[in-house]
Each structure stands twice: as C-alpha cells, then as structure tokens.
Amino acid sequence: MLKRLARDLWAYRGFIAESVRRDFHSRYLNTQLGWLWSILQPLSMLSVYTLVFSRLMRAAMPGHDSIWAYSIYLCAGLLSWGLFSELLSRSAGIFVSNANLLKKVSLPRLTLPAITTLSSLINYAIVMGIFFAFLIFTGNFPGLVVLAALPVILILIGLALGLGILCGTINVFYRDVEQALSVILQFWFWLTPVVYVSRALPEGIVRWMWVNPMWSIVNALQGIFLEAKLPQWHTLLWPAGLALALMTLALLAFMRLGGELVDEL
C-alpha cells in the first residue's frame, strides 16, 4: 500500500510542485510587495516579540544572562507551534475545501496533503531563516546542535499530518470536525509551554505534562535553540509513537473511506 501511494505521489510530482508554487503566489496576489511579505510578516513578528518581551520577561528565565533569552525561548516555541497548527488545521479541511477539484479531476487524493505539507514547510523555512539570522546577529546561534532539530521537526510533521488527515477524512462526513478542531487548538496552545515556562506551573501539573505530545516537541526545540543542548530523546518516544499510530490510522481510514469521499463532497 505504501509503495503504491509513493508511486502515485511521484507520478504527480509535477502537479504537486506547480500547486505549491501557485499556492505560494496566491497568498500575495495583487499586493505591491508580493513575495516580500513572506519575509516582512515574520520579521515584524520576531521584532515585536524581541522588543516587547526581551526585558519584561527576563526574570522568567533564571540562569540565562542574555537579554535575548526569553525572545529565543518564545520564538522557538511559537515557530514550531505555528507549523504544527498550520499543518493540522489545513489538513483537516483539505478535502472539503478542494471538493470541486476532486470532482472534476482524477488524481490521487493524498496529493492534496502533500501540497499542504510542502507549502507549509516553505513558509516555515522562510521564518526559520530569519530566526537563524537573528540568532547569528545576537551571537546566540547554537552551532551544530541545531541539526538535532531535524528529527524533532519530523516528529512534529508526522503528528500534525496523521491527526490532520484523519480529521480531514472524518470531516467530509461530519463537517463539525474542522470547526471543533479550531477551538481545540486554542486550548491546546495554552496547555503547551510556549509563552510561559513549565517551571512556573504547579508541580502536580508538570508531572502530567508528558501527556501533551507537543510539550516534549516544543521543549526539545527550545532547549536546542536557547541552551544549545541535545534533546532528551526518551521524552520524544511518546510523541513519535503517537505520530506513527496516527499516520497508520489515518491511512487506514483514508483507504477504507476513500471511495466514498467524492460522493459525500
């Protein structure tokens, strides 16, 4: 099954690449600055967080003398959460929002999540490039340990895609799923130590933080960029296992219900 899916995606690689290009350009259609907005928007976000929080929240980062400590902590968490939420929310509505395309054109339906993933990764690469430039400029670049972020990000992508494709398949039959997910993501964000540090929470809550798979992922990335230290890999076993289980469940549900998707759209 996996070989056939991979073969189908490879056969439609031209369609996927063109769709990603079109999706990127459509975001800035009819704007004077065009693709430059893809740089200016994240740059302004990082600037605001740095200027506003670098001194106000310095006390929240004991053991870190740099005035940029909280800004790095916050950006590492926000950028990773941004990729997760974008992948998850877009995947959950991918089949419904492309109903006309699926009805008119015969193509492997998994090309749509592939397009969404590549498009989101391009946006993520742009903002991470700006973040890296900020780290280098302030003298806080973590060095080669940054390569440890790659497997962590792969786990994040697997978790978002597995849950997203599963929700997207169910959403075709029950349209409340996409709306409910947007509400859940708001609560999920605040249950994940992105804006605040986990040590500020009561010990009874911290003991159960591992249940939230995004806590381990965000915590690992914050440790890499802020403290230049390798993740505690055993803490990522749960989100990695959950990502694998969700991807398997999503593909099984997709294969089982795939024939009914177009009829329900």
pLDDT attached to residue 262:
64
Q: Give the model's pLDDT for residue 188.
A: 93
Question: Measuring CA to CA, which residue among 152, 134, 184, 180 is closest to residue 83?
Answer: 152
Which residue did the predictor score with more confidence, 125 or 38?
Answer: 125
Q: How confident is the model at residue 1 (pLDDT cuts 50, 70, 90)?
A: low
pLDDT at 59 over 60: no
Mean pLDDT in residue range 35-56:
67
CB environment 177-204: b (16+ within 10 A), e (fewer): bbeebeeeeeebbeebbbbebeeeeeee
Flag whether pLDDT at 28 surpasses 70.
Answer: no
Q: How confident is the model at residue 150 (pLDDT cuts 50, 70, 90)?
A: very high
Cα angle 22-121-9, degrees, rounded to a multiple of 5: 70
Rounded mean pLDDT of 81-94?
Answer: 90
The half-sphere exposure of 244 on its side-chain side, counting CA atoms within 13 A, is 5
Per-residue confidence (pLDDT) for residue 13, from 0 to 100? 79
In tens, the pLDDT along 170-179 reads: 888 888 888 8
Of 112, 91, 83, the residue nearest 167 (C-alpha): 91
Average pLDDT over residues 221-238: 93
Owning domain of residue 249: 2-264
Instruction: Check pLDDT > 80 for residue 202.
Output: no
Q: How many domains does the chain have?
A: 1
Query: Average model confidence (pLDDT) for the chain?
Result: 82
pLDDT computed for residue 62 by the predictor: 64
**Res. 161 pLDDT band, cuts 50 70 90:** very high
Please tell me the predicted confidence (pLDDT) of residue 35.
58
pLDDT of residue 163: 93
